[in-house]
Amino acid sequence: MMKNMFRKILVAGTLIVGIAFGTKVEASNQGPYIKDGSIVQINKQNYEIWQNFNWKLKNNTNNVYNKTFEARGRYQHKNGQTYYSLYDSKGNWQGYLNSKATKKTSKQGSYISDGRYVRISKENHEIW
């Protein structure tokens, strides 16, 4: 009984110290947070985007297919997969996604051909 109580106090104390001093406390399965900063584009459908590592569903890649995100960090999960922590261009966190559903790209994203033509209807605008 005393061992169990001591263990609970030790875990709680470690969490409090981690929060107080900004230390990242490693979770049991996802591993430590690794700062990344890569720009990635979603290039696979039917992958779940997770709200947490208890596998609570947040979104699906079908809803963000071909969109570009910043992977501010990543986790090397004990299941052997790498999960990115994704943020949109406005800084909103989108969730955790298996890196296999992405490809690295630049901030403007990859070229996507759609076959349309455009007509320039206003003068004095720069074309980049």
Q: Which domain holds residue 37?
A: 29-104
Residue 10: inside a domain, yes or no? Answer: no
Q: Tell me whether residue 110 is in a domain.
A: no
* Residue 17, in any domain of the structure: no
Q: Is residue 8 part of a domain?
A: no
| pLDDT of the residue at 26 | 45
Q: Round to whole Å and give the CA distance between 76 and 82.
A: 5
Question: In 3D, which of 78, 23, 86, 77 has the Cα closest to residue 51?
Answer: 86
- Residue 81 is predicted with a pLDDT of 96
Number of domain units in the chain: 1
Question: Mean pLDDT by 10-residue block, N- to C-terminus, for the chain (128 residues)?
Answer: 52 45 56 95 97 96 96 96 97 98 83 83 85
* 39 occurs within a structural domain: yes
Q: What is the DSSP string of 49-71?
A: EESSTT--EEEEGGGSTT-EEEE
The enclosing domain of 55 has a CATH number of: 2.30.30.170
